[in-house]
Amino acid sequence: MNQVEKALVNRLQHGLPLVHYPYAAIASELGLSEQQVLEGIKKLLAEGVLTRFGPMFHAGELGGGLTLAAMRIPEADFEKVTGQVNNFPEVAHNYRREHDLNMWFVLATETQSAITDTICAIENVTGYPVYNMPKEQEFHVHLHFPV
C-alpha cells in the first residue's frame, strides 16, 4: 500500500463523520481531494485490502440477532471452509486464531431465530460444527489496526 492508502485505512477505521459530505470531510482531514478518497476506497476494495465497507448496525437493538461463533477446522480445510463461511452474508467478521477453535466469526441476522438457522446452514455447507457463544455483556473496545 502507498502512503495515501495507508492513511485512508487508518482514518476509515475510526468511522465516517456524520456530515452531509463525509468523504469530503475525510479528504480535508488527510489533505486529499474527495475524488482521491473515493478512488482510494474503490481501489482498496478491488484489491481485497478492504473486504467490506459499510455501516455497522447493532442488530440486537434493531430486533435482530448477533452472536460470536467459532469452529475447529483442520489446516488442510481451513482456506476452503473460510471461503464457505464468508459466503454467508450474515458473517460480519472472520478471524483465524491460534487456538483449538481456530476460526472465529460474528453472525448478524435480521431476527434472533435466524442465528440458529444460519449456524445450521454453515454446518451443513462445511461439514463442521459451529460453537455458538452469544454475548452476556457488551464491551466497547474501539479496536484499531494501524497500518
The C-alpha atoms of residue 22 and residue 26 are separated, in whole angstroms, by 6
Q: Output the pLDDT for position 117.
A: 96
- Angle (nearest 5°) at CA 32 between 26 and 38: 65
Q: Domain tally for the chain? A: 2
Which position has the grid cell 471461503?
Answer: 83
- Residue 72 inside a domain? The answer is yes
Q: State pLDDT tens for residues 25-43.
A: 999 999 999 999 999 999 9
pTM above 0.85, yes or no: no
Q: State pLDDT tens for residues 96-117.
A: 999 999 999 999 999 989 999 9
* Spatial CA neighbour of 133 closest among 82, 83, 67: 67
Q: Output the pLDDT for position 25.
A: 98
Is the domain of 75 the same as that of 126?
Answer: yes
Is the domain of 31 the same as that of 66?
Answer: no
Is the domain of 40 the same as that of 14?
Answer: yes
- Residue 102 inside a domain? The answer is yes
